[in-house]
């Protein structure tokens, strides 16, 4: 009898423990209510930034977006207002510190505060290092590193001084290219590595101080941004491999799905979210075997990626390859995404 009772007690205890674990997991998986929060998204006029603005708006947030192009901002504002969002759109080049500080002041005056900052603005150059100029590296750092630092530092005193309401969030859209150095994306990779370091270090420094910093590391996403990427060296072949990857299911992620995952991670205050299965696998293998991944990527660079050291740059929409019928067919999902997320190929790219 005693043995039966002991066994029963063990079963009950195990059930209670399992239930507790399940409850904790469910609690952690839930996203806190975002309704009424003010979200500022840099590079928010199109691409992933616009997808994020739509998703935050669907959660009941008030939206502020900034970008360099007034026409794109007007189109994005119209799109978001048509979905019932409260939107403030303002011009800003995030690589210019004075413009960023003035932009933050305008947004704060409009809404009274900012609760969530999403550093999303970016652009990309694709080609071998021989085709890159110093200006390519400088521009990448200005937009994707300093363009992350400037808005963050402008808002940080306001965030740290807040004593009421939900904890502010700083959400940094970095890249798998900020964790693994991908050939033919060197200026982009350098800037994203710097942004990852800033984001992770900032989270550690702000721990326990009421501000959550979230690092997002996407892999390829179908936003249509390949039409705005700059291609150098053998521009047509560079456009071919990059655009196929950015438009192919299984390799790239649907942008709306990515936006949902990013918003959920932001609301929970997760430390990090790596998007796409392939990016997760690559990051973990690289963490364990960095020499192996570097050697494999070096082999890919030599055997698969195009050679060519021309320095003339072509935007994706201008390359013969992307205008060819066969590649247009193969990248149809990417072009559909470009229309959905207001990618206009004649303008500078955002992430």
Question: Cβ(144)–Cβ(122) under 8 Å?
Answer: yes
Query: How far apart are the C-alpha atoms of 284 and 85, rounded to whole Å?
Result: 38
Query: How far apart are the C-alpha atoms of 177 and 275, rounded to whole Å?
Result: 12
Q: Which residue has the tokens 């990857």?
A: 245
Q: Cβ contacts of residue 156 below 8 Å, gap of 6+?
A: 170, 211
Classify residue 48 by burial, with Cβ atoms within 10 Å: 0-12, 13-18, 19+.
Answer: buried
Query: How far apart are the C-alpha atoms of 66 and 151, rounded to whole Å?
Result: 11
Length of the chain, please? 351
Question: Cβ(256)–Cβ(58) under 8 Å?
Answer: no
Classify residue 57 by burial, with Cβ atoms within 10 Å: 0-12, 13-18, 19+.
Answer: buried
* Residue 267 CB coordination number (10 Å): 23
What positions carry a catalytic annotation? 188
Query: How far apart are the C-alpha atoms of 254 and 263, rounded to whole Å?
Result: 15
User: The tokens of 328 are what?
Assistant: 């247009």
Query: How far apart are the C-alpha atoms of 309 and 281, rounded to whole Å?
Result: 31
How far does Cα 58 stand from its chain's mean position?
19
Question: Cβ(192)–Cβ(175) under 8 Å?
Answer: yes
67-72 contact pairs (CB < 8 A, 24+): 67/42, 67/43, 67/91, 67/92, 67/121, 67/350, 68/92, 68/93, 68/348, 69/45, 69/347, 69/348, 71/347, 72/45, 72/46, 72/342, 72/344, 72/347
Beta bridge partners of 118: 41, 171
């Amino acid at each position: 009898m005693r043995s039966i009772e002991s066994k029963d007690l063990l079963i009950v205890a195990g059930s209670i423990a399992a239930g507790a674990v399940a409850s904790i997991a469910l609690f952690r998986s839930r996203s806190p209510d975002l309704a009424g929060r003010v979200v500022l998204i840099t590079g928010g006029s199109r691409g992933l930034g616009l997808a994020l603005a739509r998703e935050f708006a669907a959660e009941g947030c008030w939206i502020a977006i900034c970008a360099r192009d007034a026409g794109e901002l007007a189109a994005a504002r119209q799109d978001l207002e048509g979905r019932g969002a409260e939107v403030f759109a303002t011009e800003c080049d995030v690589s210019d510190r004075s413009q960023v500080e003035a932009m933050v002041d305008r947004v704060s005056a409009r809404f009274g505060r900012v609760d969530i900052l999403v550093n999303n603005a970016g652009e990309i150059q694709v080609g071998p290092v021989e085709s890159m100029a110093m200006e390519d590296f400088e521009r990448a750092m200005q937009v994707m590193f300093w363009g992350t630092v400037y808005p963050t530092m402008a808002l940080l005193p306001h965030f740290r001084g807040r004593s009421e309401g939900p904890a502010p969030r700083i959400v940094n859209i970095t890249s798998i290219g900020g964790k693994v150095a991908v050939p033919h994306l060197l200026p982009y990779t350098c800037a994203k590595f710097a942004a990852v370091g800033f984001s992770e270090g900032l989270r550690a420094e702000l721990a326990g101080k009421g501000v959550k910093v979230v690092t997002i590391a996407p892999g390829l996403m179908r936003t249509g941004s390949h039409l705005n990427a700059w291609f150098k060296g053998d521009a047509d072949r560079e456009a071919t491999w990059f655009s196929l990857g950015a438009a192919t299911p299984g390799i790239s992620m649907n942008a709306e799905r990515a936006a949902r995952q990013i918003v959920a991670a932001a609301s929970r205050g997760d430390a990090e979210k790596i998007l796409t299965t392939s990016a997760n696998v690559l990051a973990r293998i690289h963490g364990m075997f960095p020499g192996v991944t570097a050697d494999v990527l070096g082999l890919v660079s030599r055997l698969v990626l195009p050679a060519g050291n021309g320095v003339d740059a072509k935007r994706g929409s201008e390359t013969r390859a992307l205008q060819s019928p066969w590649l247009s067919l193969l990248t149809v999902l990417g072009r559909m995404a470009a229309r959905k997320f207001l990618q206009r190929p004649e303008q500078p790219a955002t992430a």
